[in-house]
Amino acid sequence: MKIDAINDLAGWPAAASYQNAEPFPHAVIDGLLRPELAADLSRVFPKPSDNRWYRYSNPLERKLACNVPANTPPAIWEALQFFNSSACLKLFAALTGIQNLESDPGLHGGGMHCITSGGKLDVHVDYSIHPILKLERRLNLILYLNPGWDEDWGGELQLWDAKMTRCVRKVAPLFNRAVIFDTGPASFHGHPEELRCPENECRKSLAVY
């Protein structure tokens, strides 16, 4: 996958818009990838019943995740590596103002994520130091792969204020929509409301940190 996989760089928000966003620096980019590429990724995304998933089920989260190369469809693995490429890191640095970004080729905590009906992820902040690379975690990228998503199903990413008193912004997980945001001690986010999608649907996303 090459840099022309990005659909419309001219449509990206300005760095000042990103850096001044509330409740913490972030951007929502609709149509991140060329539509046919995003459609291919959605088509090969594993079903929730597949045995390749690691299943989280605890009071804080109910979700499926996979970051194992052998268990990831080749097209999706290529996309994840593309987001980790030096070309993409330059784009992210220009948008966010964060210089000297480094990728995590092991996708610790990232990869494919899937939420089924009744699933959730409580509002939280991410870890600050990578347990293996010992680098500071600075930036999150989430790409949603949900064609025909009905906003009545919920699943919005919620961005909360630094005191955890209120949700400032909700972002629906619409097809080919990306969210990029700073990771820091006050970047509270999650989707704490249980997903209300039909049993045959799920909330599909890719995540790179």
Please write the tens of the pLDDT for every residue from 148-166.
999 999 999 999 999 999 9
Query: Does this model's pTM top 0.85?
Result: yes
Let me know if residue 8 belongs to a domain: no
Place of tokens 């995540």: 207
Sorting pLDDT into bands at 50, 70 and 90, what band is 131?
A: low
Please write the tens of the pLDDT for every residue from 28-47.
999 999 999 999 999 999 99
Number of domains in the chain: 1
Let me know if residue 69 belongs to a domain: yes
Let me know if residue 7 belongs to a domain: no
Structural domain containing residue 164: 14-46+54-208
Let me know if residue 3 belongs to a domain: no
CB atoms within 10 A of CB 137: 18
Q: Are 63 and 56 in contact (CB under 8 A)?
A: yes
Place of tokens 């990724």: 41
Let me know if residue 1 belongs to a domain: no
Let me know if residue 164 belongs to a domain: yes
Let me know if residue 187 belongs to a domain: yes
What pLDDT does 2 receive?
A: 81
Residues whose CB falls within 8 Å of the CB of residue 162, separated by 6 or more in sequence, listed in order = 23, 24, 186, 188
Please write the tens of the pLDDT for every residue from 56-69.
989 889 999 999 99
Let me know if residue 147 belongs to a domain: yes
What CATH number is attached to the domain comprising 138?
A: 2.60.120.620
